[in-house]
Amino acid sequence: MDILSKGIINISYALDESEKYNNTKKFFYNLLENDSYRLKKYFDGFMITLIFLSVYILIRDVKHDINEFWIGFNNIVISIIFLIEYSLRFWVSSSISKVVIHQNEHNLMLNRKFSIKKLFIHVAKDKLKYVLSIKAIIDLLAIIPFFHQLRLLRVLILFRVFKLFRYAKSFQTFVSVLATKKFEFITLLMFASIIIFVSSVLVYVMEANNPSSPINTLFDAFYWSIVTISTVGYGDVTAVTNEGRIVALLVITSGIAVLAFSTSLVVSAFSEKLDEMKEMKSIDNVSKYKSFYLICGYEGIASEVAKILRSNNFDILVMDEDEGRIKNAIKDGFEALNFDPGEVESYKKLNIDISKQVRAVLALRQSDVENVYTTLTVRSMHQDVYILSLLMDEMHRNKLSIAGANEIIYSKDLVGMIAKEFVGQPVAFEVIHALRSEYSGVDMEEILVTNRISSYIKQVNQLENEKYRVVLLGIWKKEEDKFLFNPPKDTSIDLGDYLVVIGNSLFIREFKRAVQKKIFR
Amino acid sequence: MKQIIDRKATALLFGYNEYSLEIKKSIAFKYDDIELFSLDDNPESNKFDLSDDWNELEERFDMDNSIAFCVLKDDAKNIFLTLSLRSSFKNLKIIAFCKNKEGATKLTLAGADKVIPLVQTTAAMISDMLRKPIVTKVMHGILYEKSDLKIAQICVEKDADFIGKHPFDVNWGEEYGIIVLSIMQDDVDSSFIYSSKAKHKEIKTGDILIVVGYDKDIIEFESLIGSRCEVNWSDWSR
């Protein structure tokens, strides 16, 4: 192996292993291409501003004297920024080091020599694919005004407007929707082209030798055909001979057909894609949630849980394989996706970090088979996510437990417990029921002892809860995993503990704020 | 101290299904006599129909001291049953189960003392577990598990220090080791002492305090001020 090949291979391995290089590349990739990356929207906003600024300067320059600074800014600064963006996109579009490593390992396995020529062809193919993409061509055209001495090229500033396609997702959706009808559009284009060609030639033949006819050249005939078939009909160029008018009649009739066909194509493309577009919108919305509950299934209990959680300002995503139930969820105002919660593919499509963004997965179908399947699917992908599942038949409890559910809710158990408490501890039941309901005005809340709280409040006597007319029912001690009821004044308050308080809802809110902000100190 | 657990009353369970069987199991500790009724022929239950003829029932059971659970799977039939029972037995305690809130409203109108809408109750329980896991755990412990913490109702009978004071002004936790949740007075509706309407209530003899605390502390408190007593729990949360 020659020195050059060795050098390329060594550099490639070094780059591939370099955390700094990979992180930098990943950062720029996210910034430029990853829609769910939080900084991308700021970057896109910045680029859109530059585009509009650039076009504004161009328009203003037509009839006004513009400060040289702005001309320079438009031609040089903005162009350089676009050039940097183009280069970065070129860089992140593919990885040369990965190609080198792949080729080297392939060669080692087959005992072949490393070929720089092959590498060059491979890399060039990858990069050319990017360079020749429509978006990249528009990017390149947007940089051209940099050569400001060619004044004509300044009009190319308008190409910068096309760059908006990159930053505005709805444009991309529009193009992708129309792309689904590519074949129909090509057919339509062919049909229209033939009509235009035939009618242009015909009308030219009929009219060109007539001195009173405005159609003297083939270009006139072509112009007339386009104006007529599009049903615009300026009337500046019209056929005067009877033969020419017959051609006109045919073109006008065909024009109506072309228009009707193209309109129906666009409409059908959008109606066919509507559900998919809504789905994409939901996925996009959900990816913006910092944390949300994923509810699998939307039947009786599930819809109630979703409504309660929403009323407490939690974000919800409903997932169900049944279209009817998803329609109900959407009607109720939830983000809902017609995906099967039992399929790994559904979670992959979501474009979220489940372990970070999902507070809990709630398997609430009224079918143990479905809930076990969902639980197993989620658990197979994420070990830590909290899963709560509904159980319909006691004999399946074990299966649900093995599948990995953290909490199992069995409604028949609940009926038994309720009946038992009604006859055994009626008052306890009623009091707790009233405490739970939000109508009594009195609430029970748990307050997590955060770093901030624990750094200022060390003991129960420092809480000053009496001042806020809030009763401390007890403390859940994290370390001992135990509830201390009515703790003595000198009980320590540690990080991660929970304070369980009772009181008027408003007073609790004030107390909570005070403890967290420490305003009473 | 009065006997809270009364084993003489009869429990009547209407409906033969997994719910009624679960209820039967759960209340066996209190009722010696639990009777199951079914609309269909079933060797393990009594047959009944939804006509208004309850004479046989009246002859067999002390209906004024009994409790009825209406657990028919069909909400409409359950409502009809409740209405029928209430029109015949004014003092019968009726607890009815239904699927959702709509059924619950109708059952309340039909005269049930307590209505449990299963879907809403389960959903509320799930959301509580998610929103307030610690509070739910503590409450669950008090209600359903063998926890040292108990809720009890104690009648103020003796001349205690706190008589004439507002309930919130007494340091119950420090002085008695218990926490008072609510006060029930003859002339006013029961309410939590922390609610705004309870702010002006003064404690007087005959009031009933709903307290939470460890068993031994409740017993000590009870011996200090009066006795544990039964209250009409259906006054609550109606």
Rounded distance, CA A353 to CA A377, Å? 16
CB neighbours (10 Å) of residue A51? 22
Rounded distance, CA B195 to CA A408, Å? 34
Interface test with B, best of A480, A483, A486 (most B CBs within 10 A): A486
Residue of A nearest to B214 (CA): A485
> Which tokens hold the place of A355?
């372990």
From the list A400, A406, A408, A412, the residue with the least C-alpha distance to A374 is A400
C-alpha pair distances (Å), A217 with each of A54, B42, B90: 40, 99, 103
Identity of the residue in B31, B122, B182 whose CB atom sits nearest the CB atom of A301: B122
Residue of A nearest to B138 (CA): A483
More confident residue, A123 or B186: A123
B234 has pLDDT over 50? no
Q: What angle do CA A480, A485, A490 make, to 5 degrees?
A: 80
SS3 A239: coil
C-alpha pair distances (Å), A83 with each of A25, A58, B129: 17, 19, 54
Question: Which of the four pLDDT bands, split at 50, 70 and 90, describes residue A37?
Answer: confident
A343 has pLDDT over 80? yes
Q: What angle do CA A264, A269, A275 make, to 5 degrees?
A: 135
A148 has pLDDT over 70? no
A517 touches chain B (CB under 8 A): no
Rounded distance, CA A299 to CA A293, Å? 16
Q: What is the mean pLDDT of chain A?
A: 86
Identity of the residue in B120, B181, B191 whose CB atom sits nearest the CB atom of A304: B120
Its pTM stands at: 0.69
Burial class (CB within 10 angstroms; exposed 0-12, middle 13-18, buried 19+) of B44 = exposed
CA–centroid distance for A107 within its chain: 40
- What letter would DSSP give residue A321? S
Residue-wise pLDDT tens digits, A43-75: 988 988 988 888 888 788 878 888 888 888 887
> Which tokens hold the place of B183?
């006060």
Q: What angle do CA B227, B231, B235 make, to 5 degrees?
A: 150
B100 touches chain A (CB under 8 A): yes
Residue-wise pLDDT tens digits, A471-503: 888 999 888 888 888 888 888 888 889 999 888
Rounded distance, CA B192 to CA B188, Å? 12
- What letter would DSSP give residue A75? I
Mean pLDDT, rounded, for B147-155: 81
Residue A457: its pLDDT value, please?
84
A144 has pLDDT over 80? no
Residue-wise pLDDT tens digits, B46-75: 888 877 678 877 788 888 888 899 999 888
Chain B CB contacts of A474 under 8 Å are 138
A439 has pLDDT over 80? no
User: What is the distance in angstroms between the Cα of A333 and the nearest Cα belonging to chain B?
Assistant: 18
Task: Tell me whether residues B129 and A444 touch, CB distance under 8 A.
Answer: no
From the list A213, A225, A104, A483, the residue with the least C-alpha distance to B140 is A483
B2 has pLDDT over 50? no
User: What is the distance in angstroms between the Cα of A521 and the nearest Cα belonging to chain B?
Assistant: 23
Residue-wise pLDDT tens digits, A250-281: 999 999 988 898 899 889 888 888 888 888 88
SS3 A404: coil
B199 has pLDDT over 80? no
Rounded distance, CA A344 to CA A322, Å? 17
CB neighbours (10 Å) of residue B89? 19
Helix (H) or strand (E) run with residue A345 in it: helix A344-349
CB contact at 8 A, A224 and A207: no
Task: Tell me whether residues B19 and A440 touch, CB distance under 8 A.
Answer: no
Ranges A29-38, A230-239, B115-124: which has the least confidence: A29-38
B50 touches chain A (CB under 8 A): no
Task: Tell me whether residues A486 and B213 touch, CB distance under 8 A.
Answer: yes
C-alpha pair distances (Å), A255 with each of A232, A233, A242, A398, B182: 10, 11, 20, 70, 82
The ipTM estimated for the assembled molecules is 0.78
Rg over CA atoms, chain A: 34
Identity of the residue in B129, B138, B233 whose CB atom sits nearest the CB atom of A426: B233
Mean pLDDT, rounded, for A213-224: 93
CB neighbours (10 Å) of residue B232? 11
Rounded distance, CA A434 to CA A508, Å? 17
Q: Counting every residue, how long is chain B? A: 238
CB contact at 8 A, A51 and A166: no
The two beta strands, A442-448 and A315-319, are unpaired
